[in-house]
Structure 1
Amino acid sequence: MSFEPTSEQTIATRRPPQRVVRRAFKAVSTMVWFAVTIALTFLGLLAITFFIGRVVPIDPVLAVVGDRATPAVYEAARIEMGLDRPLFVQFFDYVWDVLRGDLGNSVSTGRPVVVDLARFFPATLEMATIGIALGVIVGVPMGVIAAARQGSWIDQTIRVLGLLGYSVPAFWLGLVGLSLFYAQLQWVSGPGRVDIFFDGLVPQVTGLLLVDSLLSGDVAVFWNALDHLILPASVLGFFSLAYIARMTRSFMLDQLGQEYVTTARVKGVPEWIVIWRHAFFPIRIQLITVIGLSYAALLEGSVMVETVFSWPGIGNYLTTALLNADMNAVLGATLVIGSVFIFINKISDVLYRVLDPRAR
């Protein structure tokens, strides 16, 4: 005797479960909302950069034609640059040009701003990445040890180092580092990204000199570039180290005061397990946000360090553009820095949701 399912039962078995449908709809809606928030944030960034370009007391036409140009030449350049159009039309033109990857030409270099940014930004990215790596590798254990030894001389020393990281100017620390470790002790190389006789030997693939030198198999350029990178990256790493260590200590002190930590200690759990598994494990989510913000700050705030070390990065490029009234370069660099902030913040949000089920 065979059982023949009815048509309703057959449709029910073929119909996907409602839970799967809800999960798929939620995932799609989350992705759509994620894309919408990025688009709106980026549009706001474009509006801010456009507004900066209009309120800064620098005439972009004079920066192009010079202050000795005749009124006819000035007016012709103004019309060619589209500055005679209504403000909202100029904004839409600006947004359209940015979406097409056209940021105009740099008065300082004579090249497209996009080409300049592709050349200078990898140097900043390389230095900031090494700096944040040093900050995380050293700062997180320092914060944990300071919390575990609260009130001891170790804790006091780490807190003093953190205070110095907040109060010492970057340019002063860079100058002291050059005077001590380069001029006197000669432990590291001096300003610049590489010695002049190594410049241009490695073909640019990623823009990251350490990576490109390894890809080309030129070990001499790699070690020379690393020697130049150690000191400026260490200066940046010191500032990120101070912030990360301070925040790690604060998070750890909060967790070490929780009841479950006290219970683990009462049960006789070894202290290192209590610290690194019970107390440190929950704060990793908070540290992601701290590290992300610190990384973005290094990418944005490396202007003084790049100036002291003559580092050919976006900070140095932005400073030169400001001194030369090169507004296309200024707005392009500002747009890149703002985009980096948006990208890192969104990546931090995604990691936060992945590691914390409550956020999902």
Structure 2
Amino acid sequence: MAAVSEQTGTGRTRARPFYRTGKNITKVLFSLVITFLGLLLVTFLIGRILPIDPVLAVVGDRAPQAVYDRVREEMGLNQPLWQQFFIYISNVLHGDFGKSVLTTNPVLTDIKRVFPATLELATLATIIGVAIGIPAGVFAAVHKGKWPDHIVRVIGLAGYSMPIFWLGLMGLLVFYMKLGWVAGPGRLDSFYVDFVEPRTGLMLVDTLLGDDPGLFWNAVSHIVLPASILAYFSLAYIARMTRSFMLEQLGQEYILTARVKGISETRIIWRHALGNVMVPLVTVIALSYANLLEGSVLTEIIFAWPGLGLYITNSLLNADMNAVLGGTIVVGTVFIGVNMLSDLLYRLLDPRARK
């Protein structure tokens, strides 16, 4: 009997991790579904509250009443609000965001065309922000209260204070018009547009795959300025958070113990302290990346960058609500996905979070 009890207890002990894992996965999926439904509810209500008649956007303000009523019925706007919401959910889950009034294409088709441009811009900006922001934050923390710390803090404060549209215009004026160091607005010079075979939608990748160095460097020249401006805001946030995290770690007892043992200061800072800092920094970087994906609207407008932000803005100015709401859903979904990914990475990197 004791052996049977012992085997049963061992089996239960082994089953507990699987039970906890399944329970955690269920919680994550439930949270994901609730958040996504909340996003759909908000976008649905926005489409109904705004003083823009989607029927008039389709038929025009001079259409006969009979045509207006027929189109309204076809769009399902004559049904109760709760029923419209369930139809809206069903359409979104099937990838149907409706047709764009501005382009006459399905909204999802337009989003697939413009989203890679935003993805490319935000990804490059994040890479630059991380590559500069983390070392700057570490440097400021190590030299707390000294001139390097003050310089990093001033640069970070300026990054939060200066309007991005002003910085973009000044960048174009100085580096494009006056110095000629970079190319102008757009992703490529108009002469090169027809020479690029669209494969991934990422201009740097497509021009590199095209085996034409001239095309590739032209694309680099176009993206470097808008990416650097977005990266400035990203690195300001990352540097500030890195400095804060590093100051906390450098005051811990294990740092003092490492110094007493004679470990080099370089190893203490860049391996031990920064190693512990990287766990919370994953969340900071992920949130910064998500913010760049959804917040690059002004940059895309200034640099005529044909991305999702510019697409949503033009659609809003033309009362194209299907395109506006479809783009908003995509941005919200990306934000939810990045948050979930950062939470997963946090759990993988930090054993305490797994417990």
Asked whether 1:293 is paired with 2:287, we answer yes
Q: Which one is further off, 206-215 or 45-54?
A: 206-215
Retained in 2: the 8 A contact 1:107–1:326?
Answer: yes
Determine the structure 1 residue equivalent to 2:137. Answer: 143
Asked whether 1:271 is paired with 2:275, we answer no
SS for the counterpart of 1:354 is: helix
Quote the Cα distance in structure 1 between the aligned partners of 2:13 and 2:286. Answer: 34
Q: Using a 3 Å threshold, how does the CA distance of structure 1 residues 15 and 86 change in structure 2: closer, same or farther?
A: same
Determine the structure 2 residue equivalent to 1:50. Answer: 44
Quote the Cα distance in structure 1 between the aligned partners of 2:8 and 2:231. Answer: 58
Q: Using a 3 Å threshold, how does the CA distance of structure 1 residues 19 and 10 change in structure 2: closer, same or farther?
A: closer
Quote the Cα distance in structure 2 between the aligned partners of 1:182 and 1:16. Answer: 70
Determine the structure 1 residue equivalent to 2:211. Answer: 217
Aligned mate of 2:188, from 194, 202, 205: 194
Asked whether 1:251 is paired with 2:252, we answer no
CA displacement, residues 291-347 of structure 1 (integer Å, 9 cap, x when unaligned): 011000000110000000000000000110110000000000100110011000000
Aligned length: 354
Determine the structure 1 residue equivalent to 2:345. Answer: 351
Quote the Cα distance in structure 1 between the aligned partners of 2:11 and 2:83. Answer: 50
Determine the structure 2 residue equivalent to 1:282. Answer: 276
Aligned mate of 2:116, from 119, 122, 125: 122
CA drift at 1:38: 1.4
Determine the structure 1 residue equivalent to 2:303. Answer: 309
Q: Which one is further off, 61-70 or 236-245?
A: 61-70
Quote the Cα distance in structure 2 between the aligned partners of 1:229 and 1:341. Answer: 23
SS for the counterpart of 1:197 is: coil
Asked whether 1:70 is paired with 2:70, we answer no
Quote the Cα distance in structure 2 between the aligned partners of 1:20 and 1:234. Answer: 51
Determine the structure 2 residue equivalent to 1:207. Answer: 201
Q: Which one is further off, 19-28 or 173-182?
A: 19-28
% same residue:
56
What amino acid is aligned across from residue 26 of structure 2 in structure 1? V
Determine the structure 2 residue equivalent to 1:331. Answer: 325
CA displacement, residues 56-87 of structure 1 (integer Å, 9 cap, x when unaligned): 11111111111122222211111111100000
Determine the structure 2 residue equivalent to 1:3. Answer: none
Quote the Cα distance in structure 1 between the aligned partners of 2:222 and 2:113. Answer: 18
What amino acid is aligned across from residue 181 of structure 1 in structure 2? F
Q: Structure 1: which 5+ runs fail to align? A: 1-5
Q: Using a 3 Å threshold, how does the CA distance of structure 1 residues 261 and 9 change in structure 2: closer, same or farther?
A: closer
Aligned mate of 2:222, from 224, 228, 242: 228
User: With structure 1 as the length reference, what TM-score do the two structures score?
Assistant: 0.94
Determine the structure 1 residue equivalent to 2:161. Answer: 167
User: With structure 2 as the length reference, what TM-score do the two structures score?
Assistant: 0.95
CA drift at 1:287: 0.3
Asked whether 1:39 is paired with 2:16, we answer no
What amino acid is aligned across from residue 242 of structure 2 in structure 1? T
SS for the counterpart of 1:358 is: helix
Asked whether 1:99 is paired with 2:93, we answer yes
What amino acid is aligned across from residue 293 of structure 1 in structure 2? L
CA drift at 1:236: 0.3
Asked whether 1:89 is paired with 2:89, we answer no
What amino acid is aligned across from residue 342 of structure 1 in structure 2? I
CA drift at 1:98: 0.5
Q: Which one is further off, 22-31 or 322-331?
A: 22-31
Quote the Cα distance in structure 1 between the aligned partners of 2:80 and 2:26. Answer: 33
Asked whether 1:80 is paired with 2:80, we answer no
CA drift at 1:173: 0.5
Determine the structure 2 residue equivalent to 1:133. Answer: 127
Q: Which one is further off, 202-211 or 251-260?
A: 202-211
SS for the counterpart of 2:62 is: coil
Retained in 2: the 8 A contact 1:202–1:218?
Answer: no
CA displacement, residues 175-206 of structure 1 (integer Å, 9 cap, x when unaligned): 11101111111111000011112113222222
Retained in 2: the 8 A contact 1:302–1:315?
Answer: yes
Q: Which one is further off, 60-69 or 298-307?
A: 60-69
Quote the Cα distance in structure 2 between the aligned partners of 1:332 and 1:198. Answer: 31
Quote the Cα distance in structure 1 between the aligned partners of 2:40 and 2:328. Answer: 10
CA displacement, residues 23-62 of structure 1 (integer Å, 9 cap, x when unaligned): 2222233223222221221111111110111111111111
Retained in 2: the 8 A contact 1:108–1:324?
Answer: yes
Quote the Cα distance in structure 2 between the aligned partners of 1:49 and 1:76. Answer: 25
Quote the Cα distance in structure 2 between the aligned partners of 1:179 and 1:137. Answer: 26
Q: Structure 2: which 5+ runs fail to align? A: none
Q: Which one is further off, 257-266 or 326-335?
A: 257-266
SS for the counterpart of 1:105 is: coil
Retained in 2: the 8 A contact 1:128–1:233?
Answer: yes
Quote the Cα distance in structure 2 between the aligned partners of 1:52 and 1:204. Answer: 34
Retained in 2: the 8 A contact 1:213–1:221?
Answer: yes
